Amino acid sequence: MTTPASLEVSGLAFAYPDGHQALFGVDFSIARGERVALLGPNGAGKTTLVLHLNGILGGGTGTVTVAGMPVGRRHMAEIRQRVGIVFQDPDDQLFMPTVREDVAFGPAAAGIRGAALEERVRTALDLVGMGDFADRPPHHLSFGQRRRVAVATVLAMEPEILVLDEPSSNLDPASRRELADILRSLDVTVLMVTHDLPYALELCPRSLVLSEGVIAADGPTGQLLSDDALMRAHRLELPFGFDPRSVTMGA
């Protein structure tokens, strides 16, 4: 029996109430365990697409399927547990007095109690290397540490898909590397929305380019970033002096 794709998006089109059409028919599929980058200029529809993945936005046309379940009212609770979104600003996700309480919040709301809840919290914090910080107030942590705790709050739900919005933004080089190591070690499907093209190349073997509400390209990250005409056409710019052809890809 074949495992259903972690994520399948088919013909997804969406317009906001003011008439602005953000998506014009988006199609792609991500297999279980894949790490995929979602690239594209500002205004391409990336955030709109991400908010459809766990039903925060809906009402457009087309379908989004998570682990074989269509995103819609019927499966909403399970979809929200399966699709974990880590927002760009960790302070949007951390609001409890201690790290432990922040990480416990989601599973507790889902009815997990006692030893099972403690185990979820411990496992999630260990996965992001923050086990020693459980009793700290989140606002006493560095930005990089808060981002790792924000990832842990999502991992505590044991998601199938981890969606990260600009995960490397505002991180110093050491924090950036630590987060990359964590993301590589996780046994989840990863969709990473990023303008940080070297980070996409380092972490995601495959990339999707979303431009003007459609998928303009889908392929190996190194190949897409080496295609000068594609990059120019979709306002994607590599940092000065960075040559994707010279980078050896990690697994």
Q: Which domains does the chain have, with CATH numbers?
A: 7-239 (3.40.50.300)
Across 125-129, average pLDDT: 96
Sorted by sequence, the CB contacts under 8 Å of residue 166 that are 6+ apart come out as: 88, 193, 194, 195, 196
* pLDDT score of 251 more than 50: no
* Of 71-75, 87-91, 187-191, minimum mean pLDDT range: 71-75
pTM: 0.93
- Output the pLDDT for position 158: 95
- Nearest CA to 202 out of 226, 215, 221 is that of 221
Kindly write down the DSSP assignment for every residue of 56-96, as one continuous string: SS--SEEEEEETTEESSGGGHHHHHHHEEEE-SSGGGT--S
Average pLDDT score over residue span 102-108: 96
Q: Is the pLDDT of residue 90 over 60?
A: yes
Rounded CA gap, 72 and 60, in Å?
12
198, 205 in Cβ contact below 8 A? no
pLDDT above 90 covers a percentage of the chain that reads 83
Q: Band of the pLDDT at 95, cuts 50, 70, 90?
A: very high
> Which positions ≥6 away from 75 have C-beta within 8 Å?
69
The predicted structure's pLDDT at residue 249:
58
The overall longest dimension of the chain from CA atoms, in Å, is 56
Rounded average pLDDT over 98-107: 97
When computed from its CA atoms, the radius of gyration of the chain, rounded to whole angstroms, is: 18
pLDDT bracket for residue 242 (50, 70, 90): confident
Of residues 190, 82, 179, the one with CA closest to residue 127: 179
Per residue in 171-228, pLDDT tens?
Answer: 999 999 999 999 999 999 999 999 999 999 999 999 999 999 999 999 999 999 999 9
State the DSSP H helix or E strand holding residue 121, giving kind and residue range, or none if neither.
Answer: helix 114-127
Alpha-carbon span 57 to 122, nearest angstrom: 32
Alpha-carbon distances of 163 from 22, 36, 81, 188, 243, rounded to whole Å? 19, 10, 12, 10, 27
CA pair distance 77, 120, nearest whole angstrom? 18
Encoded tokens for 104 = 């416990």
